[in-house]
């Protein structure tokens, strides 16, 4: 019986992923590595599943698994045929300068890293399959709602639950319930395990198109070994991994669009904007950030190198001064008119005679430092990021500093900071939400660290503005 349920669950989880991979191949073209397309495909498949279920419900048809699966298979075949007519090759066109060198010790290290990743996947899967629904968000929020969807065979729920989570978690779980005809099987959480693998595959493929196999494999291992990510996958009850995957795929699509001038990746990035919105309420800020990156990095307006330098220095100075004010080291006062000033301190923000906003008295910077620099959630990524930013500033490597991945990291930290300072400081104080939010930017942090380290160690750093992407 268990083997039968497992087979049904795997089929249900894989078919949307196959559709997404085929769609990603059609949208990505030949320059995107196969594993990156698979990572893109997984979140695209999850998004397609959301739309399919919503459309099915809007028509008024009761949820029936096999007819819905047949529609998904038909769409897969149709998109695959369109992709073949486009004539895309199955393998990316990697620059010859960064092809794998074939050094024996590198092969050995790569094999060790692959074995370590397989072990992580195995142990996380074991934990996932043996543990009942445990996370607070799952049993208090989206899982009771999904059980009602399953029982009613529609998106109708009589009992109201928390509404913090978007549709990706609920619809992925509903799909697994329909496939297994059960509401309490551990195999229902397989999509979370595959999202974990998709995140690592995305980072590997992105890095492999820009560096060696060793660098790409190391990056994928660093992602899969992140302690906090492992916990979230093993618990399989949080929506955060979906937002992390959508945002990571979206930022990398923006970078590929700017690098290759292939605007099919623009479509992927725009779909990831939607995926961020449907993953979780916190995705609103990250969807807005992704749109901003699209305009800045992939728009038709080219920014000269000198302007990039000016922008970089200006942003660094402004961020430093604002950060010092928020931390209480200085009181910032900017005159804007006779008798009018903009005042910023750790207690309030005001425009004299016009606006006064008092920060929540609970807010303090300690949780941010703890989450990034004290707890063991992220290896040493925060320290490495700070150190590398300092090196780039000293060496004036503005192109590397202003890469799309790093802009996504900086922008993500800004979104996180604004939310936890202005909206929900109490969840930063007890760390119930802060570390989860940092999960959204950590895969990008790994990718940026690996790419920049690779380019700094090379004999020459590319000089063209678009080649730095």
What's the rounded mean pLDDT across residues 435-446? 94
Highest mean pLDDT among 129-133, 316-320, 445-449: 445-449
Residue among 251, 266, 259, 205 nearest 34 (CA): 205
Using 50, 70 and 90 to split pLDDT, how confident is the model at 461?
very low
Which pTM does this prediction carry?
0.84
**CA atoms of 343 and 351, how far apart (whole Å):** 6
Residue among 171, 183, 170, 156 nearest 53 (CA): 171
Strand partners, 188: none
Q: What would the pLDDT profile of 2-14 be if each residue is shown by its tens digit?
A: 677 778 888 999 9
So what's the pLDDT on residue 316?
63
Highest mean pLDDT among 4-18, 132-146, 342-356, 363-377: 4-18
Q: Taking the CB of residue 425, how many other CB atoms lie within 10 A of it?
A: 18
Note whether 133 and 160 are within 8 A (CB).
Answer: no
**Domain spans in the chain, listed from the N-terminal domain onward:** 2-89+101-298, 305-468
**CA atoms of 44 and 72, how far apart (whole Å):** 13
Q: CA torsion, points 118, 122, 127, 133, in degrees to nearest 10? A: 90
What's the rounded mean pLDDT across residues 446-467? 72
Using 50, 70 and 90 to split pLDDT, how confident is the model at 336?
confident
Note whether 239 and 146 are within 8 A (CB).
Answer: no
- E strand or H helix at 117, and its extent? helix 104-130
Q: Long-range CB contacts (< 8 A, 24+ apart) of 443-446?
A: 443/199, 443/202, 443/203, 443/223, 443/244, 443/248, 444/247, 444/248, 444/251, 444/252, 444/405, 444/408, 444/409, 444/412, 445/378, 445/381, 445/385, 445/409, 446/203, 446/219, 446/222, 446/223, 446/381
The number of CA neighbours under 13 Å toward the Cβ of 154 is 10
Please tell me which residue, 128 or 359, carries the higher pLDDT value.
128
Spell out the residues 6+ positions from residue 64 whose beta carbon is closer than 8 angstroms to its own.
153, 178
What's the rounded mean pLDDT across residues 135-155? 83
So what's the pLDDT on residue 435?
85
pLDDT surpassing 60 at residue 164: no
Using 50, 70 and 90 to split pLDDT, how confident is the model at 68?
very high
Alpha helices per DSSP H over 131-263: 136-137, 143-152, 167-180, 190-208, 213-224, 227-235, 240-260
Supply φ then ψ for residue 137, to 5 degrees.
-60, -35
pLDDT surpassing 70 at residue 386: yes
Using 50, 70 and 90 to split pLDDT, how confident is the model at 457?
confident
Candidate from 51-55, 139-143, 413-417 with smallest mean pLDDT = 139-143
Note whether 62 and 153 are within 8 A (CB).
Answer: yes
The percentage of residues in the chain with a pLDDT greater than 90, rounded to a whole number, is: 41
pLDDT surpassing 80 at residue 411: yes
Please tell me which residue, 439 or 468, carries the higher pLDDT value.
439
Q: What would the pLDDT profile of 10-56 be if each residue is shown by its tens digit?
A: 899 999 999 999 999 888 766 788 899 999 999 999 999 999 999 99
Residue among 177, 181, 253, 209 nearest 35 (CA): 209
So what's the pLDDT on residue 361?
54
Candidate from 192-201, 222-231, 354-363, 367-376 with smallest mean pLDDT = 354-363
Residue among 313, 289, 283 nearest 404 (CA): 289
Q: What would the pLDDT profile of 249-265 be if each residue is shown by its tens digit?
A: 999 999 988 776 667 78
Q: What would the pLDDT profile of 197-219 be if each residue is shown by its tens digit?
A: 999 999 999 999 888 899 999 99
The percentage of residues in the chain with a pLDDT greater than 70, rounded to a whole number, is: 83
What's the rounded mean pLDDT across residues 382-402? 91
Q: Cα(first)–Cα(last) distance of the chain, in Å?
A: 50
**CA atoms of 168 and 154, how far apart (whole Å):** 16
pLDDT surpassing 50 at residue 467: no
So what's the pLDDT on residue 99?
47
Structure tokens at 134: 């445990």
Is the alpha carbon torsion for 458, 224, 190, 238 positive or negative?
negative
So what's the pLDDT on residue 268?
92
Q: What would the pLDDT profile of 75-126 be if each residue is shown by its tens digit?
A: 999 998 887 776 654 555 554 444 444 577 888 899 999 999 999 999 999 8
pLDDT surpassing 80 at residue 239: yes
Q: How confident is the prediction for the chain on average, in pLDDT?
A: 83
So what's the pLDDT on residue 214?
92
Strand partners, 344: 332, 349
> How buried is 21 (Cβ within 10 angstroms: 0-12 exposed, 13-18 middle, 19+ buried)?
buried
């Amino acid at each position: 019986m268990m083997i039968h349920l497992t087979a049904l669950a795997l089929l249900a989880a894989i078919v949307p992923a196959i559709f997404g991979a085929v769609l990603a191949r059609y949208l990505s073209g030949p320059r995107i590595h196969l594993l990156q397309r698979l990572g893109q495909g997984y979140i695209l498949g999850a998004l397609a599943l959301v739309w399919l279920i919503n459309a099915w419900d809007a028509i008024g048809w009761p949820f029936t698994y096999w007819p819905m699966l047949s529609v998904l298979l038909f769409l897969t075949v149709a998109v695959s045929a369109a992709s073949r007519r486009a004539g895309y090759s199955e393998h990316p066109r990697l620059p010859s300068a960064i092809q794998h060198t074939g050094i024996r010790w590198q092969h050995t290290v790569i094999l060790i890293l692959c074995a370590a990743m397989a072990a992580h996947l195995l142990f996380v899967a074991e934990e996932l399959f043996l543990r009942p629904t445990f996370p607070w968000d799952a049993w208090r929020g989206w899982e009771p709602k999904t059980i009602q969807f399953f029982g009613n065979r529609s998106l109708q729920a009589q009992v109201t639950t928390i509404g913090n989570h978007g549709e990706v978690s609920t619809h992925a779980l509903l799909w697994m319930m329909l496939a297994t005809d059960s509401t309490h099987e551990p195999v229902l959480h397989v999509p979370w395990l595959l999202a974990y693998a998709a995140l690592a595959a995305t980072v590997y493929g992105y890095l492999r198109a820009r560096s060696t196999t060793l660098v790409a494999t190391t990056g994928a291992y660093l992602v899969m070994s992140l302690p906090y990510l492992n916990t979230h996958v093993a618990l399989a009850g949080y929506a955060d991994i979906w937002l992390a995957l959508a945002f990571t795929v979206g930022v990398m699509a923006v970078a590929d669009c700017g690098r290759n001038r292939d605007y099919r990746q623009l479509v992927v990035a725009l779909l990831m904007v939607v995926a961020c919105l449907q993953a979780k309420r916190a995705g609103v800020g990250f969807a807005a950030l992704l749109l901003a990156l699209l305009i800045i990095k992939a728009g038709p307006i080219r920014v000269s190198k000198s302007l990039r330098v000016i922008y970089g220095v200006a942003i660094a100075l402004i961020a430093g001064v604002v950060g010092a004010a928020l931390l209480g080291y200085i009181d910032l006062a900017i005159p804007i008119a006779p008798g009018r000033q903009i005042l910023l301190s750790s207690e309030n923000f005001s425009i004299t005679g016009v606006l006064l906003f008092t920060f929540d008295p609970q807010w303090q910077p300690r949780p941010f430092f703890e989450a990034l620099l004290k707890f063991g959630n992220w290896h040493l990524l925060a320290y490495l990021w700070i150190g590398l930013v300092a090196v780039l500033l000293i060496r004036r490597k503005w192109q590397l500093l202003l890469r799309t991945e790093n802009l996504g990291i900086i922008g993500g930290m800004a979104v996180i900071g604004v939310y936890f300072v202005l909206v929900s400081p109490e969840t930063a104080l007890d760390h119930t939400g802060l570390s989860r939010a940092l999960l959204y930017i950590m895969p990008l942090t790994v990718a940026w660290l690996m790419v920049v380290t690779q380019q700094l160690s090379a004999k020459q750093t590319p000089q063209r503005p678009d080649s730095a992407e």
